[in-house]
Structure 1
Amino acid sequence: MLMEVKKSLKLMLYYFKFNISSVMEYRVSFLIQSFGMILNNTAFIFFWWILFNNVNTIGGYGFVDVMMLWALCSTSFGFAYVVFGNINRITRMILNGELDTYLLQPKDPLINIICSKTIVSAWGDTLYGIILFFIVKGFDIKAFLLFLLFCITGALIFSSVLVTVHALSFYAGNLEGVAQLTSEFLVSFGIYPEGIFEGGLKIILYTLIPAAFTAYIPAKVIREFNPLLFLSVIAVALVWIFIAYTMFYKGLKKYESGNLIINKL
């Protein structure tokens, strides 16, 4: 098991370096897309600033608290699509029989598939969240290290949930729309104060759409460290990784080859 984890991490690192090299070949495009995404996200700061000028708190959250949610969600989302840029194409690849190339290679198919692409604009999301963190917390090294760790776990949870939904396409056909909605829910719920959600919806945010573990709980731990909450985030990330792997590889047994010859690179 440990050897498999090391191989997967090595493959992820290889793809990360390769994707960076590819992106850097078009530096101007990379800078424009990244800067454009930062500007797009920055517009929302003014919306919240105006809103909190008229109210003191929303759902128990102040302006700084909401900005921390934005920083966590933005960088987690960015990390996910920088490293696992192909997660949104899994359903399409399943339905079109495009997994053949990856299955023939002596590598972990899931890691090979999702890491083989990066989304350029996601670098802007990543940088935006980091900048916003420093604006909110200043140069607090301990808080920043926690922030980075939670952004990594957030990216893993986010990606694992999407892989799980996409893997259902092995059984139920085209669920690309459901996966897109899931992605939007994970981000949208994570950037609003937890206190505005009640009842069954709040339960969903701790289970099916685990925004609580990508934003709410990490924000609480950064504000005031709690070892139990810290460990709960790590545990949930591991659980979702296990679910994603299990669903994908069980579904893979139902995969029908498309008999396609595809040049991946």
Structure 2
Amino acid sequence: MGEARAYAALIGGQFRSLMSYRLSFTLEMLSNIGTTALDIVAVVVLFSTTRSVSGFTLTEALLIVSLSSLGFALADVVVGNVDHLRVYVRTGLLDVVLVRPLGTLGQLLSMDLPFRKALRGLLSLVVLVVAVRLNDIDWTPGRVVVLIVTPIAGLVFFGAIFVLTASLAFWWVDSGEIGASFTYGGRDFTSYPMPVFAGWFRAVFAYALGFAFVSYQPALVLLGRDDPLGLPTWAGYLSPVVALVAAAVAAVVWRAGVRQYRSTGS
């Protein structure tokens, strides 16, 4: 209970600090919508020259990209600032965090929550609602659960990717570009139907690393479509399982990194 109050105090203090410059905060929030908007516009532009891509229509693609964008936007707000770990390691700020009687990861996430990115999630939610209405979905209890759970699983999955890639800084401080290729690159990858990709690239990123279960496989369940790639229908229900496995792997790597950390310059 005491830890919860401490984290709440950290987050509250940060929010009050942001509210001291309300105009700047509002402008930052509005400008941050652009990233999510561009993801959606890119899909619309792709379909502007053709009626279908790999057998998927624009409305079906909008469902996929909105599920992906909402999960990523939520993860970016809650966990995204862990990307700054390499800065904390380089400057020695992590040393200060480690001597406090609170969890290391919890402190890092509470120190600089990117509230300015919150509208990304709202935009993604609006697009998801529109996509659901545009597609002729035969609603069943199972599909309702999939619609609710998929963005939460996306939050956990992308959050795990953020933590996992940030943890590389414990061994390699200048690992930022590699991390971004999996976090932001993963967001871009999951915005499209998997048949768009081919060969080893799809096999590795979609299924070996689990990105196909962020939005593509659940979208197939919602749409009542068979998977063109041959996976069974129940694969669309695996998003929470894949997300929890990713979170477990990220937790193991994070703990290993914290244990081996030997202060600035290590």
Scaled by the length of structure 2, what TM-score is found?
0.79
Quote the Cα distance in structure 2 between the aligned partners of 1:89 and 1:230. 33
200-209 vs 14-23, greater mean Cα deviation:
14-23
User: Which residue does 1:67 correspond to in 2?
Assistant: 62
State the Cα deviation string for residues 38-83 of structure 1 (Å, max 9, x = none).
3564455455445434312112221112212221222222211211
Contact residue 146 and residue 237 of structure 2 kept, 8 A: no
Q: CA 1:45/1:256 → structure 2, altered by over 3 Å: closer, same or farther?
A: closer
Contact residue 80 and residue 159 of structure 2 kept, 8 A: no
Contact residue 84 and residue 116 of structure 1 kept, 8 A: no
Q: CA 1:48/1:163 → structure 2, altered by over 3 Å: closer, same or farther?
A: closer
Query: By how many angstroms is 1:256 displaced?
Result: 1.5
Give the letter aligned to residue 199 of structure 1: G
- In percent, how many aligned pairs have the same letter? 20
User: Which residue does 1:239 correspond to in 2?
Assistant: 245
User: Which residue does 1:3 correspond to in 2?
Assistant: none
Contact residue 146 and residue 222 of structure 1 kept, 8 A: yes
User: Which residue does 1:52 correspond to in 2?
Assistant: 47
Contact residue 79 and residue 122 of structure 1 kept, 8 A: no
Alignment partner of 1:131: what SS?
helix
Contact residue 29 and residue 117 of structure 2 kept, 8 A: yes
State the Cα deviation string for residues 112-165 of structure 1 (Å, max 9, x = none).
212332224421211110110121113999767644432222122112122212
Q: CA 1:212/1:105 → structure 2, altered by over 3 Å: closer, same or farther?
A: same
Q: Are positions 1:152 and 2:158 aligned together?
A: no
User: Which residue does 1:111 correspond to in 2?
Assistant: 106
Contact residue 40 and residue 65 of structure 2 kept, 8 A: no
Give the letter aligned to residue 241 of structure 1: A
Contact residue 157 and residue 214 of structure 1 kept, 8 A: yes
User: What is the number of equivalent residue pairs in this alignment?
Assistant: 254
Query: By how many angstroms is 1:22 displaced?
Result: 4.4
Contact residue 64 and residue 191 of structure 2 kept, 8 A: yes
Contact residue 95 and residue 174 of structure 1 kept, 8 A: no
Give the letter aligned to residue 74 of structure 2: F
Quote the Cα distance in structure 2 between the aligned partners of 1:161 and 1:47. 23
Q: Are positions 1:129 and 2:124 aligned together?
A: yes
Unaligned runs of 5+ in 1: 1-5, 260-265
Quote the Cα distance in structure 1 between the aligned partners of 2:4 and 2:243. 16
Contact residue 190 and residue 216 of structure 1 kept, 8 A: yes
Query: By how many angstroms is 1:110 displaced?
Result: 1.5
User: Which residue does 1:217 correspond to in 2?
Assistant: 217
Quote the Cα distance in structure 1 between the aligned partners of 2:48 and 2:13. 46
Give the letter aligned to residue 62 of structure 1: T
Quote the Cα distance in structure 2 between the aligned partners of 1:61 and 1:100. 50
RMSD after superposition: 3.4
Quote the Cα distance in structure 2 between the aligned partners of 1:46 and 1:164. 29
State the Cα deviation string for residues 183-237 of structure 1 (Å, max 9, x = none).
2211111112211112211122235653212221232233349983354211111
Quote the Cα distance in structure 1 between the aligned partners of 2:4 and 2:153. 15
Contact residue 67 and residue 132 of structure 1 kept, 8 A: yes
Unaligned runs of 5+ in 2: 226-231
11-20 vs 26-35, greater mean Cα deviation:
11-20
Scaled by the length of structure 1, what TM-score is found?
0.79
Quote the Cα distance in structure 2 between the aligned partners of 1:243 and 1:38. 31
Q: CA 1:18/1:153 → structure 2, altered by over 3 Å: closer, same or farther?
A: farther
